[in-house]
Amino acid sequence: MNRFFITTAIDYTNGAPHIGHAYEKVLADVLARFHRQTGEEVFLLTGVDQHGQKVQQSAEREGIAPQEYVDGVTAKFLALWEKLGVVYDDWAATTAPKHKECVRAILTRLWEDRDPATGASRWIYKAARAGHYSVRQEQFLTDKERGPNGEFGPEWGQVEYREEENYYFRLAEHRQWLLDLIDARSGEGKPFVVPEFRVSELRNAVEKLEGDLCISRPKNRLSWGIEFPFDPGFVTYVWFDALVNYLSFAPGYDPIPTRPPHEFLAWWRTVIHDIGKDILIPAHGVYWPVMLKALGFSDAEMPTLLVHGWWNISGAKMSKSLGNTVDPDVLADRYGRAALRYYLMADIATGRDADFSEERLIQRYNVDLANGLGNLVNRTLNMTLKYREGSPAPIDLPADLATHLTANTLAQETYVRSMRDGQVQAGLESLGDVVNRANALVDASAPWKLAKDPEQADRLDAVLATLILSARTAATMLLPVLPEAAAEILEQLNLVAAPLEERGLELLPAGYRCGEPKPVFPRLDAIVPPEA
């Protein structure tokens, strides 16, 4: 059986979840459900990043312990994923004992990997450094991070001058290896970064790479982190800690052996990291592959980075300081899980940015679901029950209707290709083609007129059967995005989902009888005010 391992970024627990968090997790959930539908064994990993300076500062402001603070924020994420129907196979929390043990084991392994000639660690060294430090990003800055006026921009937040001793991970000397990896994994085969237009962005960043990665923080100024196994005066830098979650919670991973066990590699060779564009550089596109190289992973075993864009407001990035954030928890309560999940998947192309709009959420739901698929199912079942008591006679389809179903099969093949590429919006466009074609068939064939002409009895049966099979195809394609609604449609049709791949022209089974129609997508009439 083929496998599919998908991870999301683990969410930083210094604030409540926003619409970007919701989009990323629903995207991963949809892709996981799709791959399960194709018969693959699937593992979806998500979770929370609970360490770091910002968390410690937030806890101090509230006068509580960091663990109590992150537990409260983590509960909000867990509740939201349940509300949105996001189903995961494991939950990565960086305060979990298994994760701490894995981080320490990896640090020890890299520290003890010695150069025979010098006796020094090949990957980690200790050094003193003085420079500007971004409190927000929890990292030292270089001159290349300065703006045109020589100042550090607002994206870095509070910038302080610091001089301290820390541990460093050798990064810069692997710049050419990383450039070669990016080039080798572009184009055909298993990509390193998708969509393709992100590759040049990453490559440009790697070409400018200078300096090594500071992977520790002195415990006397930051105590909330994973203690270094070989120097208890330091804790692990939050990004070095967080990235390891992809291994520490992966099925079958053991950080001790020189080569990971076979069971783990069977999963890992399929892994896709679903991440936002803001953490491609440097964390996932620079730090992470070099970390994996240090642990003995081959070039072919590097993950694929599925990089999605942002939801903006009027073209501007959402920001708490600007007061333009969108709360997905509130939206799910106002409009329902189905409306929010569908909008998040249908109104943004994976990799691109999009403007969030409640008006668009309502419009997409009403046009695509209530007036489109929902209307198709309702009138198809009502006409089938009214004109054929729910059982169209099994017949061979005439050429035009066979062509109609062949077009549906081709649309489903396009849908499968789109979903395998992580392009859910494109997949839903193929679903829309099936629905629009079927609704056009209703209008063109006018079953209510065919029912009045006894000589058109066979044609009526064929049209109704074609509409039922079209609705089945549409519901099959909707299953990963709206599993409950799609299952309800299939139950009303009294059919199981169609095979997603290797599908030929199918007819209704002998003795078929449809179920009773019940609206699956009641219309949303207007924006619900916040006070409602």
pLDDT in tens, 238-271: 999 999 999 999 999 999 887 778 899 999 999 9
What is the predicted pLDDT for the residue at 532? 46
> Band of the pLDDT at 530, cuts 50, 70, 90?
low
- With a CB cutoff of 8 Å and minimum separation 6, the contacts of 407 are 437
**What was the pLDDT predicted at 505?**
75
Q: Which residues, in sequence order, are bridge partners of residue 130?
A: 163
| Among 347, 371, 373, CA closest to 360 | 347
Secondary structure string (H, E, C) spanning 395-447: CCCCHHHHHHHHHHHHHHHHHHHHHHCCCHHHHHHHHHHHHHHHHHHHHHHCH
Gap between the Cα atoms of 164 and 401, Å rounded: 75
Element (H, E) at 141: none
Domains of the chain by start residue, with CATH: 368-532 (1.10.730.10)
Tell me the DSSP string of 168-188: EE--GGGHHHHHHHHHHTSSS
Give yes or no for a contact between 313 and 356, defined as CB atoms under 8 angstroms apart.
Answer: yes
Average pLDDT of the chain, as a whole number: 94
Mean pLDDT of 484-513: 91
CA dist 253 and 259 (Å) reads: 10
pLDDT of 173-230, one tens digit each? 999 999 999 999 987 788 999 999 999 999 999 999 988 999 999 999 999 999 999 9
Identify the bridge partners of residue 285 per DSSP, sorted by sequence position: none
Q: What is the mean pLDDT of residues 161-169?
A: 93
Q: 468 with 495: CB under 8 angstroms?
A: yes
What is the distance between the alpha carbons of residues 448 and 471, in angstroms, rounded to a whole number? 19
Q: How far apart are CA 221 and CA 371, in angstroms?
A: 59
Say what the pTM is. 0.95
Dump pLDDT digits (tens) for 64-120.
999 999 999 999 999 999 999 999 999 999 999 999 999 999 999 999 999 999 999
Amino acid at site 382 = N
**279 phi/psi in degrees, rounded to 5:** -115, 15
Say what the alpha-carbon torsion angle 401, 406, 412, 413 is, to the nearest 10 degrees: -170
CA–CA separation, 311 vs 422, rounded Å?
Answer: 17
Q: What is the pLDDT of residue 318?
A: 77
CA pair distance 339, 361, nearest whole angstrom? 7
